[in-house]
A and B are shown apart, each in its own frame.
Chain A
Amino acid sequence: MKAKAIVIAGWLVFSGIVMPAVAAPPAKLALTGARIIPVVGDDIPSGTILIEHGVITAIGEKVSVPYDAMEIDVSGKVLFPGMIDVHSSRGLDVANENFSVSPFLDVYDAIDPSRRFFENALRDGFSAVHVIVGNNCVIGGLSRVVRPIGLTPDEMTFHTPTALKLSVAPKHGWDRMRQMAELRETFLELKDYLGNLAEEKYEKSLEDKDEEIDVGPDEARERGEKLIRPEDYDDKHRNLIKLTRGDLDAFVYCGTASDISRAKTIAEENGFLKHMTLVLGVDCFKAVAELKSLKRPVVLDPQLLYRERDPITGKIRETFVPKVFADARVRFALQPMSSGSLAERYLNYQAARCVRAGVSRKKALRAITINPAKALGLEKRIGSLEVGKVADIVVFSGDPLDFNTWVEKVYIDGIKAYDREEDARLKELLGQERNRLSKSDKGGDENEETEKSESEEPAKAVGNKQEDGTDKKSDDSKSTITTEDQPSD
């Protein structure tokens, strides 16, 4: 019996269930010797980031490291802000419920921390994921920004409630008239509800004093308004009230260019124009002037290239969407493609494509870090490497825009959340390939010493080439987009 128990225990331990680490993270941490791309501010060729209790407290070429800080040598690596997935419903079991108007829902109830999506997000260098209901709705539910690591939604949550989802593009099977009618009706009903509630409150206050109602309904509503307390609102209306009063942000999906003006109208009428982030369909770039005048953050479609056939000539015209926004000086955030098997799932790849199409390196890097943070209203806490910000840091093996670059480590709140060296799944997947490579002459790409001498050099060269933006049309770009396909702008 005893022997069997030992065998069983051994077998169980071997097959490895991951239990949460109880040990506290090191209070102070210094990442030294790396090239730092803070996104906001100039790059530091070789510097140190000091993290104290999860917050960046110093950053620069020369930083005096306290005696009690753990020093971690990351020389030869690149430190970059943790990237932000600004709009994702992939942490949920279904993107949308079968409701058109459901502002009472919260993604909290459906976030699945065990989804492979979160594991991949961490592996791909994301430190924050904005989990939000999908676009197939009129008014969806509350969203939240989570860390891609943790056992429960509570553990994962970084910020909540982040935004309420709205869509001006029609739900599946609807047309735009019905979509807009439903939106208008929802907000009209809200006004009605508030009026009735105020009136009820006023009547109740008189009842308590044994007095008869003495004024007309309009006056009663006005008087009753002051008597309403936040806990009087019901679930169906509470979040809409917060939205219309500017206490809650909106993420508004616009499927096509003409939706922008509709989004503007509905936001203006209901008081959230200044609290709105626009999530755009691929052809919304056609309304770029209008978007510019709105001065609200925009999130671009993950499909960056727009193809349109001229109905008369039959010619195909291609537009690289981020370039249009960059040229118009409209700040934009990029999102990763939700399909896990395409390269567009990597946000740094999306940024690299922008650079290839002529967007400046600075703008491309901002579009995957600080701009998503601004779209979420969290730019004071995440999105760049600055003193005072949360220590969300990606350690890249090389330049973030180089396709040879790997995410080596991810620090979240100053805690090492991901380490490629300890990524068991990646090791299993790449094990055979690595063995094959190391046997051939090219080999040793995983060996630290050879990495510096061999693989790092060409990586840097490519990175520099993209950096100045002039030498970008080398042979590898010709294979996908030709310059004539670009629009005149």
Chain B
Amino acid sequence: MSYPYPSHSGISRRNARGFLLLAFVVALTWRGSAAMAEPTKAGQFAILAGKVITMDADDTIINNAVVLVRDGKIERVGKRREFEIPDGYRVIHAEDKWLVPGIIDCHNHTAGSLVDLNDMVYLTNPGLRTLDTIVPGTKWLEEARAGGVTTVLLIPGSGTNMSGFGTITKLAGKTVDEMVVRSPGSLKIAQAGNPEWYWFGVGRSYMNYNTRQTLMKAKNYHESWTAYEKGEAPKAPTYDPIFHDFRGLFGRMYPASVHTQIYQVVMTTVDMLARKLKIRTVLDHSTFDGFKVAPQVLKTEAYTINGPRQYWFDYTSRKMHGNAARWWQGGVRKLGINTDAPVVPQEELPYQAAMACWYGWLPYPALRGVTRIPAEALVVDDRTGSIEPGKDADFGVWTGDPIDPRSSCELTVINGKIAYDAKAKRVF
């Protein structure tokens, strides 16, 4: 847990032993964030922020605030004048900036190798895992961090109806183990659209039948294990590596991320997964006229994560519809935004949210829709998605509202470590 960029001034005061050594250390650390620092303990710092958007349940916003970070977690959040910063905390000055929870994308394909995106073996492939494809340290990840993105859900493509389990990763870390938050992160399901091109072409009656069959098989597997664990069945069922991860899905520990768009398809998703199978459901994309399903969505606990298309042009009424705005108007509040990176670059997630506002949505719910809402949707809100004591120190320091395209991210912190510092090396 060492701070990767020890400050120049701090080290120079402690190390007056010899010019050579000093020069060596200075040379090593010159690229560090030179300006802000006091003698510190590793992994502890305090950020003085002009405005903290906590994104907690009460939507608290604190002006002139301090955020204390210790051992990768947020230790304390409060008003600057309400408490003294304890000794041993390096102070980072950002009094003219916004501190915003790390941005989270529910629908990402760039944290892994793109060639492995779509293994179209069968029409449903419950045995595949994106955990096997993660590539740490790519340029894509560097750019994403520079855009204030801290967590993504890496999911397989939509070439088949069920393309495997995704992985939730932080965007910092040198190894896969360091990056991973949870695997399986979610089950990827794709309904209609892309999978229609499988084989010689498939229609919705067979696709839905087949997806349901696979899920029912998995559900039976889960139920036979549950019965065994409760002592209702004498013998343990045979372990099946393909279906074992579905236990968490039917145990509601993680969701299904569903590629779904167009009214009838979204309707089927809600009906089959959220209503009948009672799976935690995330309606990814949910574009075109999908927003008309809002009344059905409201009857379930499904999350709607809109994008990357932000508008739909209805040729009949000759009207432009902002997708997110329509969902919001339909009463849906569990509403967020995705990029489908690389379809839209990962770091442009706030820009996607800005477009949603341009087409009628509201800025604060849009910001929530790229932070807290995706964290809830992916069931990682106990760890990230808001600035609250005890949660992972994942946040960005911005020149203004991230939803305003004029703002830029100046500092990104992931797991309490500075993962991007524009003062050291500016990307955008």
Does A associate with B in a complex? Answer: yes
Which interface class (under 10, 10 to 19, 20 to 34, 35 or more) fits B?
35 or more
B209 touches A111 (CB 8 A): no
Distance, CA A11 to CA B328, complexed state (A): 13
- B80 interfacial by beta-carbon distance below 8 Å: no
Distance, CA A110 to CA B292, complexed state (A): 17
A residues less than 8 Å from B293 (CB atoms): 151
- A100 interfacial by beta-carbon distance below 8 Å: no
Other-chain residue from B192, B204, B329 in contact with A17 (beta carbon distance below 8 A):
B329
Distance, CA A261 to CA B137, complexed state (A): 71
Other-chain residue from B204, B206, B267, B291 in contact with A151 (beta carbon distance below 8 A):
B267
A110 touches B208 (CB 8 A): yes
Distance, CA A198 to CA B267, complexed state (A): 40
The 8 A CB mask of B189-207 against A (1 = contact, 0 = none) is 0001000000111111111
- A93 interfacial by beta-carbon distance below 8 Å: yes
B263 touches A110 (CB 8 A): no
| A110 and B291 in contact, given A17-B329, A152-B271, A152-B296 (Cβ under 8 angstroms) | no
Which B324-378 residues sit within 8 Å CB-CB of chain A? 325-326, 329-330, 360-362
B264 touches A113 (CB 8 A): yes
B203 touches A12 (CB 8 A): no
A92 touches B295 (CB 8 A): no
Q: How many residues of A contact B (CB 8 A)?
A: 39
B329 touches A109 (CB 8 A): no
| A113 and B267 in contact, given A11-B360, A94-B203, A98-B199 (Cβ under 8 angstroms) | yes
Other-chain residue from B202, B213, B316, B321 in contact with A15 (beta carbon distance below 8 A):
B321
Distance, CA A98 to CA B204, complexed state (A): 11
A104 touches B209 (CB 8 A): yes
Which A1-41 residues sit within 8 Å CB-CB of chain B? 5, 8-9, 11-13, 15, 17-20
A133 vs chain B, min Cβ distance (A): 7
B263 touches A97 (CB 8 A): no
B326 touches A12 (CB 8 A): yes
B295 touches A109 (CB 8 A): no
A residues less than 8 Å from B319 (CB atoms): 15
Distance, CA A99 to CA B268, complexed state (A): 22
A151 touches B296 (CB 8 A): yes
The 8 A CB mask of A131-144 against B (1 = contact, 0 = none) is 00100000001000
B residues less than 8 Å from A8 (CB atoms): 325, 360-362
B residues less than 8 Å from A152 (CB atoms): 267, 271, 296
A residues less than 8 Å from B199 (CB atoms): 98
Distance, CA A353 to CA B401, complexed state (A): 67
The 8 A CB mask of A78-94 against B (1 = contact, 0 = none) is 00000000000000111
Which B243-272 residues sit within 8 Å CB-CB of chain A? 263-264, 267-268, 271
User: Quick one: closest A residue to B268, CB to CB?
Assistant: A109
| A110 and B360 in contact, given A12-B326, A151-B295 (Cβ under 8 angstroms) | no
In the complex, number of A-B residue pairs with CB atoms less than 8 Å apart: 92
The 8 A CB mask of A97-135 against B (1 = contact, 0 = none) is 111001011111111111110000000000000000100
Which interface residue of B201, B206, B289 has the most chain A CB atoms within 10 A? B206
A113 vs chain B, min Cβ distance (A): 7
A112 touches B362 (CB 8 A): no
Which interface residue of B201, B205, B330 has the most chain A CB atoms within 10 A? B205
B203 touches A92 (CB 8 A): yes
A157 vs chain B, min Cβ distance (A): 13
B residues less than 8 Å from A93 (CB atoms): 192, 203-204, 264
A residues less than 8 Å from B326 (CB atoms): 12, 17
B residues less than 8 Å from A9 (CB atoms): 329
B residues less than 8 Å from A94 (CB atoms): 201, 203-204
- A226 interfacial by beta-carbon distance below 8 Å: no
- A315 interfacial by beta-carbon distance below 8 Å: no
B292 touches A97 (CB 8 A): no
Distance, CA A92 to CA B208, complexed state (A): 13
The 8 A CB mask of A310-342 against B (1 = contact, 0 = none) is 000000000000000000000000000000000
User: Quick one: closest B residue to A19, CB to CB?
Assistant: B295
A residues less than 8 Å from B296 (CB atoms): 151-152
B205 touches A92 (CB 8 A): yes
B291 touches A109 (CB 8 A): no
A105 touches B330 (CB 8 A): no
User: Quick one: closest B residue to A142, CB to CB?
Assistant: B205
User: Quick one: closest A residue to B322, CB to CB?
Assistant: A12
A97 touches B267 (CB 8 A): no
User: Quick one: closest B residue to A20, CB to CB?
Assistant: B295
The 8 A CB mask of B207-235 against A (1 = contact, 0 = none) is 11100010000000000000000000000
Other-chain residue from B204, B295, B325 in contact with A110 (beta carbon distance below 8 A):
B204
A12 touches B205 (CB 8 A): no
A133 touches B325 (CB 8 A): no
Distance, CA A114 to CA B325, complexed state (A): 20
B residues less than 8 Å from A107 (CB atoms): 205
A residues less than 8 Å from B291 (CB atoms): 17
B263 touches A113 (CB 8 A): yes
B206 touches A105 (CB 8 A): yes
A17 touches B330 (CB 8 A): yes
Distance, CA A112 to CA B192, complexed state (A): 12
| A109 and B209 in contact, given A12-B329, A97-B202, A151-B295 (Cβ under 8 angstroms) | yes
Distance, CA A105 to CA B213, complexed state (A): 12
B265 vs chain A, min Cβ distance (A): 8
Could you list some 9 contacts between A and B, CB below 8 A?
A11-B360, A98-B203, A102-B206, A107-B205, A109-B209, A113-B267, A114-B292, A141-B205, A151-B293
| Those 7 A-B pairs whose CB atoms lie nearest each other, nearest first | A112-B264, A109-B208, A94-B203, A110-B204, A114-B263, A110-B205, A109-B205
Residues of chain B at the chain A interface (Cβ within 8 Å): 192, 199-209, 213, 263-264, 267-268, 271, 289, 291-293, 295-296, 316-317, 319, 321, 325-326, 329-330, 360-362
